[in-house]
Amino acid sequence: MALEAVGGAALGAVFGTLLDGVIAVSSKTIMFKTHLRDLKFTMDSFQQVDEDVRQHPNILFRPIPGLERFRIQMKKGVQLVDKCSKVRPWKLNAFKKLIYTSKLVALNASLNTLLSVLTVHVISDLRARVIDVETTLNQIDANIVAQYQNQNQNQIRGWCAIPEPPPFTVGLDVHVEELKMELLKDEASMLVVTGLGGCGKTTLAQKICKDQKVKEKFKGNLFFVTVSKKSNCLVVQELCQKTGSLVPSFQEEAIAFNWLQEFLNETGQDPLLLVLDDVSPGSDSLLDKLDEFKRPNHNILVTSRVKFPRFGPAYLLGTLEPGDAMTLFRHSASRSDRSSYIPDNLAEQIVQHCKGFPLAITTIGRSVCEQPTEIWEKRVAELSKGSSILDSEDYFLACLKSSLDALDERMPIIKECFIDLALFPEDRSIPAVALIDLWAELYGLDKDSWSIVNIHELTNRNLANLVTRNGKTEMDGYYSEHFVTQHDMLRNLAIHQIGQDEIGKEKRLIIDICGDNLPKWWTEQKIKPKMTRSLSISTDGLSSEKWHDMHLPKAEVLVLNFQTENYGLPKFVKKMSKLKVLIVTNYGVFQADLSNFKLLGSLANLKRIRLERISIPSISKNSMQLKSLQKISLFMCSIGQAFSNSSIQILEAFPNLVELNIDYCNDLVELPVKICDLIRLKKLSITNCHKLFRLPEEIGKLEGLEVLRLRSCTDLVKLPGSIKDLTKLHLLDIYKCFSIKELPEDIGEMSGLEKINMGQCSRLQELPVSVLNLVELREVICDDYTENLWGEPFKSNLTKIKISVVKEDFNLNWLHKL
């Protein structure tokens, strides 16, 4: 056989043994049936190469070096198949099943690689030794070599043939039409179709290639190459095969790219469509070269789980609409040769749990096809109790998990950040500033922008969505209007990852309490210490007074989520000696009274506190000292007269506080004077507090303040004159402070001021002359109206200032995305 001809008798022998084992096990076991069938299909493909070798007995094929690793992999494959034959479904746990499945998938991928190498080698030897190349090509099966059967008829066959899309698809017609319009334009383009694994990107690309208008335009210059994790050299070799050209052995990437450039140049002005399917993040350089080499009328269609933003806006392929999802499920769960009874109520519940993923719908549909109603009911019951489709559908899990596997190799911290999103409740938007607090302490991301970069990385890989107000990204560190959303199935994937290994369990513990049902392990008398670094507890009403004790000696992050009007911090918080970050979020409608806040007084390492929809007066009565606390964030909290009428000495309570954020606290009318005692404060942000009309004159005492942000405080009438004493302030943000009519006369004494944001300050009439003394001022952000205030004499004297005019886009579309 061909393997013996180029790799020796040992390689051929172990291949035969493996094939015999696959055939034998496939006929006996119901476990792994799909993967064993795929494996046999791949091994059967070798027979066609054997046929070509047998047809040329006089040709001495060159040995291929480096095939020893394939022999070893196949030898291990023999052992793996033998283990699979001995598995009994009732004895196999989900984890071991996933391991065997992953190994079978890896073995199949290895054999596919060997098949590609072998085919390229055989074709190369045949072409090199036969004078009549065209005659030889016609003797090699069309499924092995790409060639044109009839150039005049512009038909494509052989390896150049486009893979057939599934015979039944839903929800793709609109996407086909939209992308087709772009591809039919007479201009060069690179379109990136992106989405999660299992959303139908490959099927969409196949349907586009089969469209009649697309075929008429591109004729014979239509090529479909699956990239996956192949090297650039192998991808170019495969493209070379599909063109019917002599396949060189590319030893270096530069040589492969030279061939690619020559090929595109030879195509000239003829329309060309190159589809690169399943492009991984490591293939950036290939896309760079294609973008550099492409000629007019050349189109490149890329499908990937990554967005590759530098090539333009990606086309996002989302999940299915409910109607399409149900149609696909009914098709998958029924036999094509006869009608099948599908219980409506059970089908609707299963489809709901599939979250619109075509692959999940198809996989679970096939698993319940022709099954008795009891099987359907059991599956629905399991899903309703919190079980995930990922726990039972290995192929879908492997497909979705592959996005994380890529992060394992390149960006392990990004993977950790992805899993951290599961600390927040399902179907809730996550404030980016909450993630900033987490990641600063867990991973040492000292700059807020570094965390935002990680969110962008997750977004580019379709593992999360970043939603910003009006779609704008701030450049001065204001991230309070940045929110992260995530598909429910991705959250399930993160939770699945946490439970797969002991290391994951040590990093995070997520507890969802429904009603009075506590986890069984928590109610046991002899509870062991939990070594987790991050703890998240979500409850729909059960009081923390009824919670059992818990020992968390290593916990650094505590996320508490609830929906009641009264909530008490759990008593075990007092013993969380290493706690650094506390995030308390009330998802109810009204602000909640928070009790047991004094427990925090014993936490010597607590650095960051974020409270959402909490009544601050309920906690300001407690006298405590948090020496390590550096940052407090209050969102939609009820402040009232907090601290004003309290005996608490705020500087003693928070001696090292450097950042205070107050956002959407609508009952804040006047900033408490005691805030001005926080002399170590570097950043004071009071935003979207529409009733705030006065700042205390004592604000000038905050001599270390570097950032003062007052944006969208629409009733704020003026800035106090003492602001001139803030000589270290480098950013002043009064964006959308509609009521401010003038700036302090002595504002020019703010010698450190570098940037002012004064957009939408429509009542501001003029600038004080002292502005000319702001020698460090470098940037002013304004609108069309306030730009006019910076005319003479300021324009000619402050020559180093950059005036940025921001066009406001007034719409609420960003809220819809949340």
CATH number at residue 750: 3.80.10.10
Residues 297 and 185 in one domain: yes
Residues 132 and 178 in one domain: no
435 inside domain: no
Residue with tokens 């940052």: 631
Residues 681 and 808 in one domain: yes
Q: Give the pLDDT of residue 120.
A: 62
Residues 114 and 246 in one domain: no
Whether the predicted pLDDT of 157 surpasses 60: no
Residues 39 and 104 in one domain: yes
Q: Give the pLDDT of residue 472.
A: 59
Domain boundary among 316, 331, 355: 316
Question: What's the whole-number mean pLDDT along residues 141-160?
Answer: 33
Domain boundary among 294, 316, 338: 316
Residues 192 and 283 in one domain: yes
Residues 131 and 217 in one domain: no
Q: Give the pLDDT of residue 619.
A: 67
C-alpha 435/C-alpha 329 separation (Å) is 37
Whether the predicted pLDDT of 277 surpasses 60: yes
On the 0-12 / 13-18 / 19+ scale of CB atoms within 10 A, 578 is middle
Structure tokens at 457: 């990385």
Q: Give the pLDDT of residue 480.
A: 92
Structure tokens at 25: 């096990």
803 inside domain: yes
* pLDDT-derived band at 147, boundaries 50, 70, 90: very low
Residues 180 and 294 in one domain: yes
805 inside domain: yes
Question: What's the whole-number mean pLDDT along residues 124-145?
Answer: 42
In a 3-state reduction of DSSP, which class is residue 191? strand
Cα–Cα distance list, 720 to 46, 713, 717, 725, 762 (Å): 82, 15, 10, 10, 19
132 inside domain: yes
pLDDT tens per residue across span 760-773: 998 998 999 999 99
755 inside domain: yes
* pLDDT-derived band at 515, boundaries 50, 70, 90: confident
DSSP 108-164: HHHHHHHHHHHHHHHHHHHHHH-S-HHHHHHHS-TTTS-EES-TTTT-EEGGGSPPP
What is the domain extent for residue 261?
172-316
C-alpha 26/C-alpha 19 separation (Å) is 11
Structure tokens at 24: 């034998």
In a 3-state reduction of DSSP, which class is residue 76? helix
Angle at 402 between CA 192 and CA 73, to 5 degrees: 120
**pTM score:** 0.71
Q: Give the pLDDT of residue 505.
A: 63
How would you classify residue 676: left for phi > 0, otherwise alpha for psi between -120 and 50, otherwise beta? alpha
Q: Give the pLDDT of residue 625.
A: 87
Residue 462 DSSP code: T
Whether the predicted pLDDT of 439 surpasses 60: yes
277 inside domain: yes
Count the residues in the chain: 818
How many domains does one find in the chain?
3
Mean pLDDT, all residues of the chain: 82
Cβ distance 773 to 748 under 8 Å? yes
Question: What's the whole-number mean pLDDT along residues 402-423?
Answer: 85
Beta sheet of 298-304, edge-to-edge order: 222-228, 272-279, 298-304, 189-194, 315-316
Q: Give the pLDDT of residue 3.
A: 63
* pLDDT-derived band at 581, boundaries 50, 70, 90: very high
Residue 26 has, within 13 A of its CA and on its CB side, a CA count of: 15
607 inside domain: no
Residues 812 and 673 in one domain: yes
Domain boundary among 316, 343, 358: 316
Residues 114 and 185 in one domain: no
455 inside domain: no
Q: What are phi and psi of 513, to 5 degrees?
A: -105, 120
Residues 127 and 259 in one domain: no
Q: Give the pLDDT of residue 130.
A: 44
Kindly report the CATH number assigned to the domain that includes residue 279: 3.40.50.300
Q: Give the pLDDT of residue 656.
A: 95
C-alpha 672/C-alpha 644 separation (Å) is 6
Whether the predicted pLDDT of 133 surpasses 50: no
Residue with tokens 């950040």: 417
Of 624 and 753, the one with more pLDDT: 753
Structure tokens at 68: 């020893």
Q: Give the pLDDT of residue 146.
A: 33
Whether the predicted pLDDT of 60 surpasses 60: no
Residues 103 and 187 in one domain: no
